[in-house]
Amino acid sequence: MATPENRTIALDPTGERAEHRKLVIVGSGPAGFTAALYAARAELDVLVLRGPEPGGQLTLTPDIENYPGFPDGLTGFELMDKMEAQAKRFGAEVRYGEVSDLDLTRRPYRMVVDGETEISADAVILSTGASARYLGLANERRLLGKGVSACATCDGAFFRDVELAVVGGGDTAMEEALFLTRFATKVTVIHRRDEFRASKILQQRVFAHPKIEVLWNHRVEDILGEERVDGLALEDTQTGSKQQLPVGGVFIAIGHQPNTNLVRDTLALDAAGYLLTEPGSTRTSLPGVFACGDVQDSIYRQAITAAGTGAMAALDAERWLAEQGAEANQETTEPAIGRLEEMAVSAA
Ligand code: NAP
């Protein structure tokens, strides 16, 4: 995601040089393309901006076996190609481009794409996703998809009858470790401290599970293996002593980062930084701005749930645009900050 520092042109306050669209969808994962499909079928003039990671996190997943309708499974790339083709079939325009500035202070909303093109929109759907946090090791990136994963639900079934490791001490790490016991012979949870931050109930399940061992006060120094992961180099954070742990795969569960750089000062976020939407809808704290997929979901984070909220966002946007009618192009009258505060309070 671009940061405001990446801007190369300033937004034109008159909006006169902007290309105008009825609906712009920012982000091209399963949420964005499903929103595009629904919006295009509703005959809205819809533009999808792919963003910095076209296809989103799913393109990091070599095999998807849990997306309904594909009993033989398919790759993340294949699924995203199909979703894009389906959206285009009904008239959605899809463009490479990263939004480098987004002005939501008045309508029509305006954005700069790739630092050079200005686009205005009556309604905006944000489907910018979230990015898994990684340890930042060179071999972690090299072995991603070859034994390194950040999603047990996506990839766990490919690790049958091997020993695995999970890094982290939060709810996600506990859930991933428990899930992986279905396939692995043993799961070692590696945590950098001597206590978990996870909820007590999940901790108890982890402690009670005969296949799970916890390695406290250790950090992963390196991930080992040529073609695939075959072990971890670990350091004891208390004593500095080193050891190698042979494992066939490692799941990094140290949190996710929702991609909200563009809107963190203009839309209401929850305490973890995810976009807040009104319960039962995809409406954000600003009228005509909708959010779907992982950027507003810290809990489920599945391709199918992202696609579901993408459909909701398109339906919400379509209804909102219809309600606005000819007034969609008018300046915002609702004070953004008031709504933002109201939503933040109700989320607390
Ligand atoms: P989290 O709660 O932020 O936990 C991240 C864990 O990773 C922490 O234990 C942290 O260690 C560790 N960590 C962070 N950076 C690290 C690094 N560089 N090296 C090693 N370890 C590192 O993230 P999460 O578990 O993904 O949960 C995110 C949110 O979603 C939480 O609010 C959680 O409750 C929620 N969630 C809920 C459920 C559920 O209710 N079923 C399931 C999943 C997630 P420290 O503890 O030392 O900081």
3-state SS assignment for residue 123: strand
Nearest CA to ligand 1 atom 2: 170
Q: If you average pLDDT over residues 44-58, what whole number do you get?
A: 87
**Residue 308 three-state SS:** helix
| Residue of 101, 103, 154, 297 marked active site | 154
Confidence of residue 40 (pLDDT cuts 50, 70, 90): very high
Q: Where are the beta strands (DSSP E) in 105-260?
A: 109-113, 117-126, 130-132, 148-149, 163-167, 186-190, 212-215, 218-224, 231-236, 242-245, 249-252, 256-258
pLDDT of residue 2: 37
Residue whose CA lies nearest to ligand 1 atom number 16? 254
* pLDDT tens-digit series, residues 96-108: 999 999 999 989 9
Length of the chain: 348
Specify the pLDDT at position 196. Answer: 98
205 close to ligand 1 (CB < 6 Angstrom): no
Task: Tell me the pLDDT band of 16, cut-offs 50, 70 and 90.
Answer: low
Would you tell me the crossing angle of helices 30-41 and 76-89 to the nearest 10 degrees? 20
- Closest ligand 1 atom to residue 197 Cα is 46
CA 169 to ligand 1 center in whole angstroms: 6
Q: How far is the CA of 290 from the centre of ligand 1 (A)?
A: 27
Bridge partners, 119 (sequence order): 19, 111
Residue 44 has pLDDT above 50, yes or no: yes
Q: For 240, phi and psi rounded to 5 degrees?
A: 80, 0
Considering the chain, what is the average pLDDT of its residues? 89
The span from the CA of 176 to the CA of 165, in Å, is 10
Stretch 281-296: mean pLDDT: 97
How confident is residue 60, by pLDDT bands cut at 50, 70 and 90? Answer: low
User: Does 152 contact ligand 1 (Cβ within 6 A)?
Assistant: no
155 is catalytic: yes
Residues 204-262 pLDDT 10s = 999 999 999 999 999 999 999 999 999 999 999 999 999 999 999 999 999 889 999 99
Q: What is the pLDDT of residues 142-189, one digit of tens each?
A: 999 999 999 898 899 999 999 999 999 998 899 999 999 999 999 999
Is 298 touching ligand 1 by the criterion CB < 6 Å? yes
In this structure, the residue with its CA closest to atom 14 of ligand 1 is 254
- Identity of residue 35: A
Ligand 1 centre to CA of 256 (Å) is 8
